[in-house]
Amino acid sequence: MSELNNQPAVAVRDLKRVYGDGEHCVNALDGVDLTIDSGEFTTLMGPSGSGKTTLLNLIGALDSPTSGEVEIGGQTLSTLSSSERAGLRLNRIGFVFQAYNLIPVLSAYENAEFVLMMRGVSATERKQRVMSTLSAVGLEGMEHRRPNELSGGQQQRVAVARAIVGEPALVLADEPTANLDSTTGRELVELMRQLNQDQGITFLFSTHDPTVMEHARRIVRLVDGRIEEDGRR
């Protein structure tokens, strides 16, 4: 997998995100410091409202902090223009969402291909990379099925394929097993752990799922917008 450079995959410094103002303000993140090295398989855990999704959104350049800095491979997000941030998301980061976020009128192949089309990759290379990636996530032979013809677990595998087909340095996954039964969720996490080991992709999850935590090599616990615990296994 491509690497941004020798910098950490993610570096967060004194990150704060406040929503609202005055008496109605909410400190979603309150001074978070976190470094994720390339190749890590890290889980963010904590109760609802602890700041997990907010942190992922800031790292993924989907939102901007109230104060503090986020660096992706040494690039400080606050110094980038909106178009440069969009380019970073397209070329360097893969996203896996709880609700899959697949395009319903497109097939599994077309959903996975979409990122490569946005990058202007040739049709020949797109086909090779998409078919190889769908095979890697266990969807060989299902490339022509649309999302409504796939199970929840299969749809999430398409989402994983879409996230990794562009060979990102970093994949952010927000509660990726929340809508899956325990067996399917375990299979999905085992798949992503295998991709992490085989291809060196850095994975950062948010989760309540014990299955995900079992496979994590590092667990970062958030409470009330602050890191309460950070442990490696």
Tens place of pLDDT for every residue, the chain, 233 residues? 444 457 899 999 999 999 988 778 889 999 999 999 999 999 999 988 899 999 999 999 999 999 999 999 989 999 999 999 999 999 999 999 888 889 999 999 999 999 999 999 999 999 999 999 999 888 999 999 999 999 999 999 999 999 999 989 899 999 888 888 888 888 888 888 888 998 889 999 998 888 778 888 899 999 999 999 999 87
pLDDT of residue 71: 95
pTM of structure: 0.90
* Token reading at 183: 């067996």
Query: Which domains are delineated in the chain?
Result: 39-62+82-232 (3.40.50.300)
CA dist 170 and 187 (Å) reads 21
Contact by Cβ (8 Å): 146, 107: yes
Closest CA relative to residue 212, chosen from 37, 78, 45 = 45
Contact by Cβ (8 Å): 130, 116: yes
